[in-house]
Structure 1
Amino acid sequence: MKTILITGASAGIGRATALQFARKGWNVIATMRSPEKESEFTKVENIFVTHLDVEIKESIHNAIEQGITKFGNIDVIVNNAGYGSFGIFEAATEEQIQRQFNVNVFGPMQVIKSILPHFRKNRQGLIINISSGGGRIALPLFSLYNSSKFALNGLTEALLYELAPLNIRVKIVEPGRTNTDFAGRSMDPLQDTQLTDYSEIEQKIGSVYQGLFDPQQVDSPNLVAELIYKAATDPSSQLRYHTGEDLMKAREELNEDEFISNMAQNFGIDIP
């Protein structure tokens, strides 16, 4: 029986992924910042709930050690914990910039560094980083989030080559618009009431975004969990797995100037 460790498993994609793998007979190490609040997972025999905060190095080491002690091995790591900052870049505080990268980039880096000795010892392992369509397509008002996901994608692609000789594989899952709390408690607004020069563009862009997270028009976390399971069980060397085909397809088919022009037009932005 294989074992998977998932960060950010308390809600959304992480929670759906934990349940997906448990149903498939895997041992699941479901990590979260507040495990004491979890009640459903503790009733499932093959799910082990433990504390992990990607901003706290010691908690990462402890969660991995506890998982190995519980199940004897870890075969797959899913770096799922993350959130998004939204707003004008100039409004971001130094603390907001630092935390966006702590959680979305430096946290996954530390998880990977912490599991690699175990994977090297076993001469096998799989790292799945949950990125986003925002890791390949940048959108206005998502500058911090986009840049963190671009960084995560770059890390993953570089590790593909670096770890292959050790029989350690890496994959990227890029969800499109998904019905999670991303636009709620997982969103950090960047606000500065003194930056009135941006008011018009914020309103214009905001009106475009209003319909994007309509629950009727987005993917369910379960669909993304199924994609993560597909990535975890796919023996091929495929790097990327994504939902949200339409925008990705447009990005791949158009040259850069055409794509940027189309995106600017959609947001009502004139680029000089």
Structure 2
Amino acid sequence: MAVTPVWFITAASSGFGQAIAIAALRRGHTVIATARNPSRIQDLAAAGAHTLAFDVTSPLSTIEGVAKDVFAKHGRVDYLINAAGFMLEAAVEEATPEEVYESFNTNVFGVMNTLRAFLPYMRAQEVADNGVRGVVATFGSLGSWRGVAGGAVYSMTKWACSALAESLATELEPFKIKATVVEPGYFRTGFLNPGTLASSKVRIDAYEDEKTPTGQTRRRLVVTDGNQLGDVNKGAEVVVDMLSGTGVAKGRELPVRVVLGSDTEKVIRDKFESTNKILEEWKDVLRSTDSPLN
């Protein structure tokens, strides 16, 4: 008898978290949708999701308690989706230590603690019909590949999430648990809406100047909001396909990166080209630092 897959999704009140929850529900899967305030996910409850109050910045002991309860009730988690995150728009000079910590606490440390709490149970659960014990996904971004003026803190956290997934993919392979990072470009969600996009409290006039790269980023974010290239519902369907090995991903291995959007593709290809140019230009110098072979 086939076992119904179980999804645990953080930050399911909006954006990719919400869209992935809807896509999984549409396939008849069990979805545990979470948000800091469960009143914001009543639409998912009405669609058949189990809803839960969950804050990734809670103490590890609290998150461990949630994991214990989830596995006691549902028996397993096949897909652990870490979708919580936000962008801090700030020049490096403007960002306070508290604002930097808050960004990392949600975008990185919260992911780490959720993984710490859920992985012991996932390693112990039975292998599913597809031969996989489970799948964990972090959320990176186009910003995992390109730092921009005014977005350094956000890019730092997204690079961390991508590095985390790469490391997890190797660590978890012996346990038949797969790991990947979802790296979307600009998708039409509320991510850049006023009130969602965070800005540093300290504002320095020099960085407000539209002639500076930071000033240009600030104006570009305003113009981009509501006009992003990506369709989040299409993106979520691809994510669910790729994590479950169905649809467009049937018969294909889950890559360590789920890249979404032609804008992200361009950024990555440009990164390869510029990085290769550095390596070629400086290859004699970088090789000169090796110790002589004995």
Larger radius of gyration: 2
Aligned equivalents of 1:180, 1:27: Cα separation in 2: 24
TM-score for the superposition, normalised by structure 1: 0.86
Aligned to 1:224: 235
Aligned equivalents of 2:177, 2:264: Cα separation in 1: 31
Deviation at residue 256 of structure 1 after TM alignment: 3.3
Deviation at residue 55 of structure 1 after TM alignment: 0.3
- 1:47-99 deviation line (CA, Å, top 9, x unaligned): 11011100003442233233223322111100001101002111111110101
2:11 and 2:83 in contact (8 A); partners too: yes
Aligned equivalents of 1:250, 1:16: Cα separation in 2: 24
1:6 and 1:79 in contact (8 A); partners too: yes
Aligned to 1:206: 218
Report percent identity of matched pairs: 26
Secondary structure of 1:177's aligned partner: coil
Which of structure 1's runs of 4+ aligned residues deviate more than 6 A?
Answer: none
1:176 and 1:244 in contact (8 A); partners too: yes
Secondary structure of 1:4's aligned partner: strand
- 1:138-190 deviation line (CA, Å, top 9, x unaligned): 12111100000001111110111111111111011111101112112331102
Instruction: Determine whether 1:181 maps to 2:193.
Output: no
TM-score for the superposition, normalised by structure 2: 0.80
Aligned to 1:79: 82
Aligned equivalents of 1:36, 1:197: Cα separation in 2: 41
Q: For structure 1, which runs of at least 5 residues remain unmatched after alignment?
A: 260-272
Matches within 5 A, 1:119-138: 119-122=122-125, 124-138=133-147
The AA in structure 2 aligned to 1:226 is E
Instruction: Determine whether 1:242 maps to 2:259.
Output: yes
Aligned to 2:274: 255
Aligned equivalents of 1:79, 1:205: Cα separation in 2: 27
Aligned equivalents of 2:263, 2:197: Cα separation in 1: 24
1:125 and 1:168 in contact (8 A); partners too: yes
Aligned equivalents of 1:9, 1:59: Cα separation in 2: 19
Aligned to 1:55: 57
- 1:194-247 deviation line (CA, Å, top 9, x unaligned): x333232243333344433343x4222212211220221126141111122244
The AA in structure 2 aligned to 1:255 is S
CA RMSD of aligned residues (A): 2.1
Secondary structure of 1:40's aligned partner: helix
2:189 and 2:226 in contact (8 A); partners too: no
2:71 and 2:121 in contact (8 A); partners too: no
- 1:245-267 deviation line (CA, Å, top 9, x unaligned): 244335325223879xxxxxxxx
Aligned to 1:107: 110
Secondary structure of 2:146's aligned partner: coil
How many corresponding residue pairs? 256
Secondary structure of 1:39's aligned partner: helix
Aligned equivalents of 1:16, 1:102: Cα separation in 2: 24
Aligned equivalents of 1:125, 1:5: Cα separation in 2: 11
Aligned to 1:262: none
Instruction: Determine whether 1:2 maps to 2:12.
Output: no
Q: For structure 2, which runs of at least 5 residues remain unmatched after alignment?
A: 128-132, 246-251, 279-294
Aligned to 2:38: 35
